[in-house]
A and B are shown apart, each in its own frame.
Chain A
């Protein structure tokens, strides 16, 4: 499950930001390593929301980082992002 989620978001990032797919790894930090800016991340969030049928709480995550309650690694290292997405999908399934 985890790897397939990672593969899907890596493909989305590669297509959205024109980044070679083979340079995107589970350890990649979307901002620090891949250089994705906030506008491109909106596009990625749109594609991820659609692909997984969720609404990634980007504003909540950003607030947590700004408040020092979380690190960007927790949300923007891709293996962690994939885990957050899996949690959101699971929470949605449980609530359905």
Chain B
């Protein structure tokens, strides 16, 4: 995780475009200024960042399904449940699944676990629009490469 850059996903473990599912890993840093305030003496990952991590996992899945033709933007968060505390240094395993592909939007469900323990879940809606700027597409390609996005999964 590079919290300062809002990059929450470290590695794509599995991308299945037939089942429209993804599994990713996200390593919560051992130390970060966020934990100094949230909370003193009891550092935990903020729920909004866990929600963002689930959104980014879903986003990579949607990028795969659209073959990087559309950029997903988070539009709606439903049923976000923070089920347990996530502490510095813990490894999150996040699963996301596409529940519906609409016209210009998609709905996913996502779950994050530490080990076998379910920590949070949500249903997320994204608007999918053509990349608004070429530099964003270049950036996403570079990030895809960094986190091990399996580009071969997108070729038939």
Listed in ascending order, the chain A residues whose CB lies under 8 Å from chain B are 39, 42-43, 45-46, 49-50, 55-60, 62
| A58 engages B102 (CB within 8 Å) | yes
B18 → chain A closest CB, angstroms: 19
Nearest CB in chain B to that of A56: its residue: B103
Query: How many A-B residue pairs lie within 8 Å, measured between CB atoms?
Result: 35
Q: A50 to B102, alpha carbons, bound, how many Å? A: 10
A94 → chain B closest CB, angstroms: 20
| A45 engages B76 (CB within 8 Å) | no
Given contacts A39-B75, A39-B76, contact A46 B103 (CB under 8 A): no
| B102 engages A45 (CB within 8 Å) | yes
Residues of B contacting A59 with CB < 8 Å?
103-104
Main secondary structure of the interface of A (DSSP, over half): helix
Please list the 10 inter-chain residue pairs (A to B) with the smallest Cβ-Cβ separation, ordered nearest first: A58-B103, A59-B104, A59-B103, A42-B105, A57-B103, A45-B102, A49-B102, A58-B104, A46-B107, A55-B103
Contacting residues of chain B (48-85) with chain A, CB-CB under 8 angstroms: 75-76
Q: A94 to B31, alpha carbons, bound, how many Å? A: 59
24 A-B pairs with CB atoms under 8 Å apart are A42-B75, A42-B102, A42-B105, A42-B125, A42-B127, A45-B102, A45-B105, A46-B100, A46-B102, A46-B105, A46-B125, A49-B100, A49-B102, A50-B100, A55-B101, A55-B102, A56-B102, A57-B103, A58-B102, A58-B103, A59-B103, A59-B104, A60-B103, A62-B104
Nearest CB in chain B to that of A42: its residue: B105
